[in-house]
Amino acid sequence: MKKLVCAAALIAFQAAAAGAADFSLSVGGGGIIGGSFTRYSLEASGVLTIKAEQIVDQLDYGAFAFLDATYVTLGLFFQNGAYDFSQPVENLGFMSGEGRGWERVLGISLLGKWPFALGSRFAVFPLVGIDYLVSLDQRREDSFGRVYDRAKTLENGQSFELSDWDQFHIRIGAGAEYGLGQSLFIRGDLLYGIRLMTRYETKNLDYMKEMTGDDKPRLGGLSSGPSLRLAIGWRFFAP
């Protein structure tokens, strides 16, 4: 038993020592391009029966900077989004609509990774983590072609705050890195994210409950999509 404990301790020590030897710090920045696809359906029955859908196809693009500590990457990014939307609502035609929209967000990401070296210059790594996006601007085009600020305009008789469009994403993917020299490298990450419901969506759900008298409306769907991040970095600490 003692031999097994000693052997396990030795293996753990060697793994920790190897990890310490591989540890490095780097910074960098680059561009982001991606998209998201939202498909929600809602059905409520009470004094009034309503069936509604939310369909959004969005293109995202922006820039980001990162601080990498080998097994963890902290990112800060600025991103624009442009989308087409459709919102059919049965029995409440005035709430239906379709058109275009735009958003601007500031985001922070935290990703865990485990790099595998494939030679002296090339490495690959799985990624898993989270993003939090703070909404800076939300605009849509109305049925007359006029662009309006969603945080300053009533939508379906409701008022919203800009923070109602703040977003939380869970992301998973993989990346690769290639060294251009002793410190300089290029990196690419491909991620797929799932967005949780925003306060804008939960407020609309509460609104449907009040309108129909249904305490348990049925809501289903998903908002998700891929993103590609390409960057150049500089490793400034490597023991």
The string of pLDDT tens digits covering residues 159-173 is 899 999 999 999 999
How far is Cα 47 from Cα 50, in angstroms, rounded to an integer?
Answer: 10
Contact 107, 77 (CB under 8 A): yes
The predicted pLDDT at position 217 comes to: 81
Of residues 207 and 115, the one with the higher pLDDT is: 115
Please compute, for residue 216, the number of CA atoms within 13 A of its CA located in the half-sphere on the CB side. 0
Q: Mind listing the pLDDT tens digit for each residue in 80-114?
A: 999 999 988 876 666 677 889 999 999 999 999 99
> Domains in the chain and their CATH numbers?
25-237 (2.40.160.20)
Q: What is the chain's Cα-based Rg?
A: 23
Of residues 75 and 95, the one with the higher pLDDT is: 75
Instruction: Give the single-character DSSP code of 194.
Output: E
* Average model confidence (pLDDT) across the chain: 87
Q: Are strands 122-141 and 218-237 parallel, antiparallel or unpaired?
A: unpaired
Contact 73, 66 (CB under 8 A): yes
Which of 27-41, 102-116, 125-139, 209-223 is least confident?
Answer: 209-223
